[in-house]
Amino acid sequence: MISGQATTFHKAEWFKSDDESHGFDGPLHIEPRPLAPISNLLLVSMQSKGFKLQDDMFTTGNNPHGCGHAPRSTYSGLRTTAADYLKPDRPNLKVITEDIVDRIILTNENGQRSASAVKILDKENTSIEVDVKREIIVSAGTYCSPAILMVPGWDPRRSWSNWASNVLSIFLVLGRTSWTTL
């Protein structure tokens, strides 16, 4: 058992878990889900083709080309997500949902370039500018995050090349490998 992990692993009677590889006190709850009738037949078929069985797949990385069962990011029928990390008592964090990001406002003060605000449209289509003190985290998914960062006039090959190198490396590849998340 590992303390301080991101997950809380919930055991299932049928699942042969590698308890040394799982966390039991994290904010993300995971559990093995009940098997479909075909699940074990697929494992037998894969093993017959030379894939090594690892009962608790993906916990250690020792068997990346094998087969086995994997816990899922659900618990008691509910999906567990990154939102489980977010606590309402965090003064340095404001999570806004159900609004549309129009653009990120960029400023250049005394040669220091930075993202200073986010312009959003609320449910009533009212434009609101939200100022930031430190950073903006764009988390709008595989397709929407690049769209936010590439609003009209922001060509990543030109516009972002003049900005800080730490954001440049992220923006230039954003969205190019979206096939990996499908």
What's the pLDDT band for 174 if we cut at 50, 70, 90? very low
Residues 134 and 93 sit within 8 Å (Cβ to Cβ) = no
Among 58, 85, 112, the domain boundary falls at 85
Burial-class residue 7 by CB neighbours within 10 Å (0-12, 13-18, 19+). buried
Structural element, H or E, at residue 47: helix 39-48
- pTM exceeds 0.75, yes or no: no
Structural domain ending residue among the three candidates 29, 58, 85: 85
Which of residues 85, 114, 139 is at a domain's end? Answer: 85
Its domain, for residue 158, covers: 100-181
Q: pLDDT category, 121, cuts 50, 70, 90?
A: very high
Residues 135-157: what's their mean pLDDT? 71
What is the arithmetic mean of pLDDT over 166-176? Answer: 45
CA-to-CA distance for 177 and 40, rounded, in angstroms?
Answer: 32
Count of domains in the chain?
A: 2
For the stretch 10-59, pLDDT in tens is 999 999 988 888 888 888 899 998 888 899 899 999 999 999 998 888 77
Is residue 92 domain-resident? Answer: no
Distance, CA of 1 to CA of 24 (rounded, Å): 7
Q: Is residue 144 part of a domain?
A: yes
Instruction: Report pLDDT for 157.
Output: 54
Residue 70 vs residues 19, 81, 134, 135, 178: alpha-carbon distances, Å? 13, 17, 38, 35, 23
Residue 53 pairs in a beta bridge with 67
In a domain, 95, yes or no: no
Rounded Cα–Cα distance for residues 3 and 26 (Å): 8
CB 30 within 8 A of CB 73: yes
Amino acid at 56: D
Is 2 within a domain?
Answer: no
**3-class DSSP assignment, residue 83:** helix
pLDDT of residue 31: 92
Does 105 share its domain with 148? yes
* CA distance linking residue 98 with residue 62, whole number of Å: 41
Are 37 and 13 members of one domain?
yes
Structural domain includes residue 30: yes
Domain membership flag for residue 91: no
